[in-house]
Structure 1
Amino acid sequence: MSLVKSVGVIGGLTLVSRIFGFARDMLLSRLLGAGAGADAFFVAFKLPNTFRRLFAEGAFSAAYVPMFSKELHGPGGKKAAERFSANVLSVFLPVLLLFTALFEIFMPGIVWLMASAYQDVPGKFELTVELTRIAFPYLLLISLVSLLSGVLNSMSKFAAAAAAPILLNICLIGGVLLFGSTTGDNAETARALAISVTVAGVVQFVWLLWAVRRAGLTLRLRRPRLDPKVKQLGRIIVPATFGAGIYQLSQLIDTFFATRLEEGAMSFLNYADRLNQLPLGVVGIALGTAILPALSRLIAREDADGAQRLQGTAVELSMLLTLPAAAALGVAAQPIVEAIFLGGRFTAEHVAATAGVLVALVSGLPAYVLIKVLTPGFFARGDTKTPVKTAAAALTFNVAVILLVIDRFGIVGLAAATAVSSWFNCAMLYTILHRRGHFTLSGQVVLRVAKQLFAALVMAAGLWWVTGALGSAFTAGALARAGALAAVVLTGATLYFGVLWVIGGFHREHLAKLRRGNTA
């Protein structure tokens, strides 16, 4: 399967998931608003959800996929790959059970580390602990899902794994519709959502288990045994968790500081990040997932030129889609947040605060995506130490920036610090790859990305005028809001791709080859 086709499958299904996610958050914003109940739920969901991103979209795939691919395409074939996966599962499950049990026991202390300031609001800290305990088993379940996803991705079967997050959003929407209310205490709504998170984990696990069996593999639990390959996987996962998860680890740092700001800060950060996650998930995660097995195969064949071309194409393709998304979300942040979230418990003041956070977050969007593209260049070569070092430097830099800006800029400063530190991490990753001779951006790719940036700026100017002309349509009825958002999307797409077509901002022949499955 070609890179473009793989990204299309993953990105398309991720887009469907993000649409369901928007429907979910539109309901949440109206039923929870940005008060104590909302803050408590978003902190409770942050912990297992961060681990989900670290494992399902980062460390586990980065470590597991190359090793599974080696077994699958080696002399042992499917039997060896199946045996390796069963051994990993047999060790992985007891570790996860112990990890989950310990977190459940010590949850008050863990929540205190993240949100001790909630103790100043009567009942808020206790509700956060309760919700986190209810939702945390999702981590165990989604970690098993990540193993099954790695099996399918290594076999270039991306659809089932990419569709799994849709099930999470469907479960949460169901919980909101059945138990949500815009009147009275929203704590019961938050409890229903926490329960829905764990139910979603069960549903996703069953779905992926069926998909793996349909692919012709059967994974049976065995007596746990740390054979050399399982030990090797463990040695890779620990540093890879840190190296691949700079964005998620930055999110935990943001959570720590956000809970110390005004009530609602955690909610503003969550709603803004939901919009930021749309292009990050559709483009960045899709590219990162698709490029790792392909890059691993090229490096195994010692095809250095092919690996260079693959990563160059991934950079070009990622910027082709990410730059306009960042520009559109930045220039139209206020009307977009109004159209999607305004209503019920979510007020105009909440809109203004969320829009400010969104502008800061999307300034780092290209960097978030590039990290997803560059990190596989290390993991495919078995190098997990270097991303750890760059991540540590970026996290340290992130905390330093936060301490400098938080008093003056509050929650917006937190988001800006995340963006700046991500650019810092991206620059370090590329510099190291370049110096080692593993990857160098060609002049043609740089020129096309520059043209993409120019087209994005033209588009941003057009969207600034359009959003001003539409005015109150973004705060009117549902149909008017939908029409206004549609006008923004159509105007932006027409301007951006129209300008690109005229100035030649993408490699038409190369993309045509990729669609036909030829990566040479």
Structure 2
Amino acid sequence: MNLLKSTGTIGGLTMVSRILGFGREMLTSRILGASNATDAFVVAFRLPNTFRRLFGEGAFSAGFVPLFSQRLHGEGGAEDARRFSEEVLAVFLPTLIIFTLVFQLIMPAFVAALSGYSGEKLALTTFLTRITFPYLLLISLVSLFSGILNSLTRFTAAAFAPALLNLAMMLALIVVPTGGEASATALSIAVTAGGVIQLALLLVATKRAGISLKLRRPRITPGVRQFVRVVVPATLGAGVYQISAFIDTFFLTRLGTGAPSYFNFADRLNQLPLGVIGAALGTAILPQISRHVGRGEPDKAATIQAQAAELAMLLCLPAALALCATAGPLVGALFQGGRFSAADTAVTAQVLAIIVLGLPAYVLVKVLTPGFYSRQDTKTPVKIAALVLVVNVVLNFLLIPWFGIAGLSAVVAITSWLNCIILYTILHRRGHFRIPGWLASRVARQLVAGAAMVAALYGVRMLLGGWFTGGLGHRLVGLAALIGAGLAVYFPLVWVLGGVDRDAFKALLRRRKPVEDAG
């Protein structure tokens, strides 16, 4: 499948989910505000999400997709790939069940150690986390079926599934709009319910793709052993990243009421380009790079990565620069109102303006890591992640006492760049991927167009002035003007300057029929 088309399919559907996510957060900010109940829910939702990234999306895909693809395109074909999937499921499912039950038992002590909460806030956070934690099991199974569909280049269902979670959570807030513990509890129930709906969608989509998995008795087969050899280092690497997320939570919960909420709302905006661009590219290129590496075509694999990096920077640089330059008006228009005050907006905007500085690096990491995973090298990213984690902890202890939540946000950006630079350096030294001259030239031109866009955004902010501090209607109009100005300046200018492969985009626009079925 053409890289632009694959990324467009995944990114477009992810955009739908992210827009719904904004709707969810807009309701949350106005109904719950930056309160104890919001902080409790943020922690309760973060815990299964963190473990999801550990067991599910990143580590699981890194181990499963290349091995599934090898079998799918090998002599055994679809039948061999299906049998391998059943063997993995037979071991994966009971492991997840046991893990979930163990954490239900130790939840009070775990939440207390992580959050530092006590009394009613600890009791509420523990209660909500027990409700949300089964989402880990459900969404990890979703990752397995998503891996199957992505390997078959059927991206639609897996990319759309997160939208169902956001719809469930929005419905919960609409049904229970009273705020406080009641709304937080409704949100928590919706998380697990959303996981059930997502899994149902993926089961149907996989069956329609011609693969129906049956439950087997758990056995350590050669395929499972191969999977474990690949996925354990990846899980350890993901574990390092998630320890970093736990560390962030540890510090946030000790910065006073509202800090977890501020970071959550800011990160929601940061996650829009990250999810739409980074996750889409990473998902799209891993099967392609794995296929070329398996065929002994390293040059083609490197070309795929270079094209992905070009597309990532074309979209990510303006997103990061625009989010930084318009953080205040953006947060105010989306979240301010109800129980979310102008003071809450100011702190959230400060956090957003800082963390987005690391956004290009975080997206590039999604492009670089498939260069390791496609070669079944999951150990190197683990070592890099461990080093970055140490730097993360040291910088948090150094900066947070002086700068508070702004210091923590800066650490997120700094460590993202450190991770990116080290990954690229190792790939470069091994001869697996080197930035070609044409890519460096285009990114430089994208930066010039981005700088012009930032100047235009600040010009609009000066011209409209009080529109960004007025009522909701004025703030939305001001935000629309900012978005329009940014789009009107960046994309025409980057086209004129040659910051994009014009021929590739013209060919994509001329294409009337898809190269392959997108699912």
Shorter-chain TM-score: which interval? over 0.9
Q: 2:293 aligns with which of 295, 299, 303?
A: 299
Change (3 A) 1:246 1:416: farther
- Shift in Å at residue 48 of structure 1? 0.9
Q: 1:153 aligns with which of 150, 155, 169?
A: 150
Query: Aligned partners of 1:57, 1:473: CA distance in 2, in Å?
Result: 41
Partner of residue 166, structure 2:
169
Partner of residue 6, structure 1:
6
Partner of residue 36, structure 2:
36
Given residue 128 of structure 1, which amino acid in structure 2 is its aligned partner? T
Q: How many residues in Structure 1 have an aligned counterpart in Structure 2?
A: 513
8 A contact 1:342–1:475 mirrored in 2:
no
Query: Aligned partners of 1:246, 1:160: CA distance in 2, in Å?
Result: 29
Partner of residue 88, structure 1:
88
8 A contact 1:15–1:278 mirrored in 2:
yes
8 A contact 2:240–2:382 mirrored in 1:
no
Change (3 A) 1:52 1:475: farther
8 A contact 1:250–1:418 mirrored in 2:
no
- Shift in Å at residue 247 of structure 1? 5.5
Given residue 437 of structure 1, which amino acid in structure 2 is its aligned partner? G
- Shift in Å at residue 408 of structure 1? 1.0
SS of the residue aligned with 1:405? Answer: helix
Partner of residue 191, structure 2:
197
Query: Aligned partners of 1:341, 1:472: CA distance in 2, in Å?
Result: 18
Partner of residue 133, structure 2:
136
Partner of residue 448, structure 2:
454
Given residue 302 of structure 1, which amino acid in structure 2 is its aligned partner? G
Fraction of identical pairs, as percent: 56
Given residue 177 of structure 2, which amino acid in structure 1 is its aligned partner? G
RMSD between aligned alpha carbons?
Answer: 1.6
Q: 1:423 aligns with which of 417, 421, 438?
A: 417
Query: Aligned partners of 2:88, 2:318: CA distance in 1, in Å?
Result: 41
Unaligned runs of 5+ in 2: none
8 A contact 1:29–1:345 mirrored in 2:
yes
- Shift in Å at residue 49 of structure 1? 1.3
Partner of residue 405, structure 1:
399
- Shift in Å at residue 396 of structure 1? 0.6
Cα distance per residue 1:38-58 (max 9 Å; x no partner): 000000000111233344431
- Shift in Å at residue 514 of structure 1? 6.7
Query: Aligned partners of 2:362, 2:508: CA distance in 1, in Å?
Result: 24
Change (3 A) 1:475 1:206: farther
Q: 2:261 aligns with which of 257, 263, 267?
A: 267
Query: Aligned partners of 1:389, 1:220: CA distance in 2, in Å?
Result: 36
- Shift in Å at residue 400 of structure 1? 0.8
Partner of residue 108, structure 1:
108
Q: Which shows bigger deviation, 371-380 or 223-232? A: 223-232
8 A contact 1:171–1:199 mirrored in 2:
yes
8 A contact 2:57–2:140 mirrored in 1:
no
Cα distance per residue 1:277-310 (max 9 Å; x no partner): 0000000000000010000001111111111111
Query: Aligned partners of 1:502, 1:233: CA distance in 2, in Å?
Result: 48
Partner of residue 327, structure 1:
321
Query: Aligned partners of 1:478, 1:212: CA distance in 2, in Å?
Result: 44
Given residue 195 of structure 1, which amino acid in structure 2 is its aligned partner? I
Unaligned runs of 5+ in 1: none
Query: Aligned partners of 2:248, 2:102: CA distance in 1, in Å?
Result: 24
Query: Aligned partners of 2:243, 2:445: CA distance in 1, in Å?
Result: 33
Change (3 A) 1:442 1:250: same
Query: Aligned partners of 1:232, 1:474: CA distance in 2, in Å?
Result: 56
- Shift in Å at residue 485 of structure 1? 2.3
8 A contact 2:17–2:166 mirrored in 1:
yes
Partner of residue 493, structure 1:
487
Partner of residue 125, structure 1:
122
Partner of residue 59, structure 1:
59
Query: Aligned partners of 1:424, 1:85: CA distance in 2, in Å?
Result: 35
Query: Aligned partners of 1:242, 1:508: CA distance in 2, in Å?
Result: 41
Query: Aligned partners of 1:85, 1:507: CA distance in 2, in Å?
Result: 38
Structure 1 residue 440 corresponds to structure 2 residue 434: yes
Change (3 A) 1:50 1:468: farther
Partner of residue 408, structure 2:
414
Change (3 A) 1:512 1:144: same
Given residue 89 of structure 1, which amino acid in structure 2 is its aligned partner? L
Change (3 A) 1:235 1:87: same
Q: Which shows bigger deviation, 4-13 or 488-497? A: 488-497
- Shift in Å at residue 115 of structure 1? 0.3
- Shift in Å at residue 235 of structure 1? 2.5
Query: Aligned partners of 1:72, 1:477: CA distance in 2, in Å?
Result: 57
Partner of residue 22, structure 1:
22
Given residue 463 of structure 2, which amino acid in structure 1 is its aligned partner? A
- Shift in Å at residue 188 of structure 1? 1.1
Cα distance per residue 1:156-199 (max 9 Å; x no partner): 000000000000000000100001225xxx01111111111000
Change (3 A) 1:125 1:480: same
Q: Which shows bigger deviation, 463-472 or 342-351? A: 463-472
SS of the residue aligned with 2:404? Answer: helix
TM-score, scaled relative to structure 1: 0.96
Partner of residue 49, structure 2:
49
Partner of residue 375, structure 1:
369
Query: Aligned partners of 2:240, 2:18: CA distance in 1, in Å?
Result: 22
Cα distance per residue 1:18-41 (max 9 Å; x no partner): 000000000000111111100000
